[in-house]
Amino acid sequence: MVDSNVVLWGQTIAYTFYCLVIILLMLWFGYKITKTGKSNVVRPAIFYTFVGFLTVLGVSLHIITYNTIPWAPVDLNRGDYNPDKTFEISVANHEFILPSDKLVINCNDLVLFDVKSNDLTYGFGLFRQDNSMVFQMQVVPGHRNDILWKFDKPGIYTIRSTEYSGPRGVFMVLKDAVEVTPCEGV
């Protein structure tokens, strides 16, 4: 499965490139409008082409991500999947209560995290040892909060609340609480 780090790298490159282009374009525009030019007329055809381009861009972004980011279709249709393992986790009084001290996952398992809040709105996120994010979801009281995730790389992950729940929420960190065992043949 494509890792979330790979997706973020792709996004970084695409957005940085866009930023550089638009900044240079605005600098060029700022320079050119102070000068006399051949023509001051902007043809409506250019305008309509631009509108068409934005429409295609806005829609295609979601089509591309749906077809290239592996967790997107899984997330929207998670009722259709059978998880290899389910962890039922509850949260109350700014503390995560796990089914065991450490959540051990076999490599290549599809895992369901089912998190229930007994008081406030929290978040549930998994983070790598370099603090980068694997995934997150909101944990809303009175509702089911579940996420399916396939782990195809070994590693140790930290659980952290990803939503503000008052100043005490800062300390909602369970370091190295999730371990994915080494994959066969690796």
Partner 1 sequence: MSFKNTFIHGTEGLFKPDSLTQMQKIVLRFVVVGLIYYGFAVIEGMIMRIYEVEQIPLINTNQFFAILTAHPLVGIFGSTYALVFGAFLFLTPYLMKKPLYSIKLANWSLILLASGTFIFWFAGFISHYAPLYTLYWPLPADFSQFSVWGGTFFILGIAILMVGTLFFIINIFKTIVYTPEGWEKQPSAALLGSAIGYSGFRNLFRKKENRKEHLVPLPVAAIARGTVDMVLNTSIILFTGVLILIYMLANILGVDLKESAIDALLYKNWFWWGLDLIADGLVLIFVAGTWYLIATMITGKKLFMQNIARAALLLELVVSWTVWSHHLLSDQAQPAMLKIVSGELVTAFELITQGLAFFITLATLWSARPLKMTNPLKFLLGGLLGFALAVPAGIMQADVGLNRILHNTQWIVGPHVHVAVLVGLTMTLYAAVYLLFPIVTNGAKLYSQKLANIHFWLHLIGGIGMGAFMGMAGLKGMLRRTLYVDGEFNLYMILAALAGSLLLISFLAFFYNIVMSVGLKGVIGIFTPSKLKTKELLPES
Q: How far is the CB of 101 from partner 1 (least distance, A)?
A: 22
Nearer to partner 1, 19 or 104 (CB): 19
Q: Which of 183, 127, 110, 148 is nearest to 5 (CA)?
A: 127
The DSSP call for residue 130 is: T
In the window 70-89, what residues touch partner 1 (CB under 8 A)? 71-72, 75-76
In the window 11-30, what residues touch partner 1 (CB under 8 A)? 11-12, 15, 18-19, 22-23, 26, 29-30
- Counting contacts by CB under 8 A, is residue 57 touching partner 1? yes
Q: How far is the CB of 90 from partner 1 (least distance, A)?
A: 15
- Counting contacts by CB under 8 A, is residue 169 touching partner 1? yes
CB 114 within 8 A of CB 87: yes
- Counting contacts by CB under 8 A, is residue 51 touching partner 1? yes
Instruction: Using the CB atoms, write b or e for 112-134: b if 16+ within 10 Å.
Output: bbebbbeebbbbbbbbbeeeeeb
Q: How far is the CB of 184 from partner 1 (least distance, A)?
A: 27
Specify which residues 180 forms β-bridges with.
105, 155
- Counting contacts by CB under 8 A, is residue 8 touching partner 1? yes
Position among 156, 164, 176, 183 found at the interface with partner 1 (CB under 8 A): 164
Chain length of the chain = 186
In the window 117-156, what residues touch partner 1 (CB under 8 A)? 119-121, 123, 125, 127-128, 130-138, 140-147
- Counting contacts by CB under 8 A, is residue 32 touching partner 1? yes
Secondary structure element (H or E) that encloses residue 13, with its range: helix 4-32
Nearer to partner 1, 50 or 81 (CB): 50
> In sequence order, what DSSP letters do the residues of 18-84 get, joined into one string?
HHHHHHHHHHHHHHHTTS--S-----HHHHHHHHHHHHHHHHHHHHHHHHHSTHHHHHHTGGG---S
